[in-house]
Amino acid sequence: MRTHFQTRRLALIDPFGVSRETSTEKFNTFVEVDDGLGEAAPLSFYGESRETLEAVLPLLLAVIEEDPFAIEQSHANMQRRIGMNSAAKAAVDMALYDRLGKRLGQPLYRIWGLDPEKTPLSTYTIGLDTTEEMVRKTRQAEGYPILKIKMGQPGDLEQLQAIREVTDKPIRVDANAAWTPKEALSKIDAMRELGVEFVEQPLPPENVEGMRWLYRRSRLPLIVDESCKTSKDIPGLVGQCDGINIKLMKSGGLHEALKMVAAARAHGLQIMLGSMIESSLANTAAAHLSPLVDYADLDGHVLIAEDPYEGLFLEEGKIRLPDGPGLGVTPRV
């Protein structure tokens, strides 16, 4: 069995801001297991970095099974070796599924029995910036029918109003844990007037009581992201939100993401599928699950100046899955 990993710099087309930080470039680590490909996008918020990835990947790659069908066992081995580091595990997991699909000669969505026509529309994300820049990016997002607007900086409601003046597209908002419960409630009332569809992660994940308080009063649906990493978090989220945002970098890959889909549905929750700033490789991996979800935010690759891979395609926002075996992703070089 051949394994390899390499970190690559991904320059962003525009600086990308969320309530915690702004970035102009990302360093993602790309993994190979035989002919299977994977990608890790580390996030310091979840305790991962280029350094932790590069330290942990050799330990994970050393314990995976040679048998391409033994994915459950490979995950059990990885979990026993390292408790956390979900982005590192996600990269290995993607490579394992890609290798399996290539061995079977079928795309993953077909192996899972999913209809590629049932993919949702993906939002296009406008990161935090000056009002002028956010309005400019909104105007530029012509080819995307639904917008996701980042909020959580001073004056964010006024920024949202300025954006609303130049577009009548559906808008979803992500506060990335920046508000207090009372602040969130008053903004939600104003956002409802502006035609916002739902709000993602209004409060910090540790403010469980605040989320319960807000959920009882909110006139817009609430989706949690930072509050929900794996299926273990899901039962406790009932009564705090209407839905969860699944991301491979939080779940540790497709294997756990599938369990999260089942757990969320069993608890009556809606499902959004999101991504960090990832190339077409990791975004395509997530996209194979997208026929199972209600909402998608898989535009991370569109924000990268030179995407090293080719895979999913957003056609007027509609997610089009590649039909090659496994992930169906090919290097662009």
Three-point CA angle 254, 25, 331, nearest 5°: 55
271, 243 Cβ separation under 8 angstroms: yes
Nearer to Mg ion, 74 or 201 (CB): 201
Size of the site for Mg ion (CB under 5 A): 3
For Mg ion, which residue of 98, 129, 197, 225 counts as binding (CB under 5 A)?
225
> What minimum distance in Å lies between the beta carbon of 256 and Mg ion?
18
Rounded-to-integer distance, Cα 35 and Cα 95, Å: 8
Three-point CA angle 317, 230, 64, nearest 5°: 100
237, 229 Cβ separation under 8 angstroms: no
Residue with token string 């710099």: 9
Nearer to Mg ion, 206 or 306 (CB): 206
Residue 97, SS3?
helix
From the list 98-106, 122-130, 169-177, 263-271, the region that binds Mg ion by CB under 5 A is 169-177
Which residue number places its CB atom closest to Mg ion? 225
Nearer to Mg ion, 200 or 310 (CB): 200
Report the half-sphere exposure of 187 (CA within 13 A, side-chain side): 28
Nearer to Mg ion, 39 or 225 (CB): 225
Nearer to Mg ion, 48 or 200 (CB): 200
From the list 117-125, 146-154, 196-204, 215-223, the region that binds Mg ion by CB under 5 A is 196-204
> What minimum distance in Å lies between the beta carbon of 95 and Mg ion?
25
From residue 111, give the alpha-carbon distance in Å to each of 97, 115, 199, 288, 323: 10, 11, 33, 10, 12
Rounded-to-integer distance, Cα 56 and Cα 82, Å: 8
Nearer to Mg ion, 61 or 175 (CB): 175
> What minimum distance in Å lies between the beta carbon of 201 and Mg ion?
5
For Mg ion, which residue of 129, 174, 197, 299 counts as binding (CB under 5 A)?
174
> What minimum distance in Å lies between the beta carbon of 278 and Mg ion?
14
Rounded-to-integer distance, Cα 180 and Cα 71, Å: 42
> What minimum distance in Å lies between the beta carbon of 245 and Mg ion?
6
> What minimum distance in Å lies between the beta carbon of 18 and Mg ion?
8
From the list 78-86, 121-129, 180-188, 225-233, the region that binds Mg ion by CB under 5 A is 225-233
Nearer to Mg ion, 149 or 321 (CB): 149
The residue ranges of DSSP E strands in the chain, in sequence order, are 3-17, 22-33, 36-40, 124-126, 147-150, 171-174, 196-200, 222-224, 243-246, 270-274, 295-297, 309-310, 313-315, 318-320, 330-331
If phi over 0 gives left and psi between -120 and 50 gives alpha, with beta otherwise, what is residue 20? alpha
> What minimum distance in Å lies between the beta carbon of 295 and Mg ion?
11
Q: How many CB atoms lie within 10 A of CB 1?
A: 11
Rounded-to-integer distance, Cα 31 and Cα 92, Å: 7
Nearer to Mg ion, 54 or 294 (CB): 294
248, 273 Cβ separation under 8 angstroms: no
> What minimum distance in Å lies between the beta carbon of 224 and Mg ion?
9
From the list 42-50, 138-146, 224-232, 320-328, the region that binds Mg ion by CB under 5 A is 224-232
Nearer to Mg ion, 121 or 177 (CB): 177
Q: Does 299 engage in binding with Mg ion (CB under 5 A)?
A: no
Residue ranges binding Mg ion (CB under 5 A): 174, 200, 225
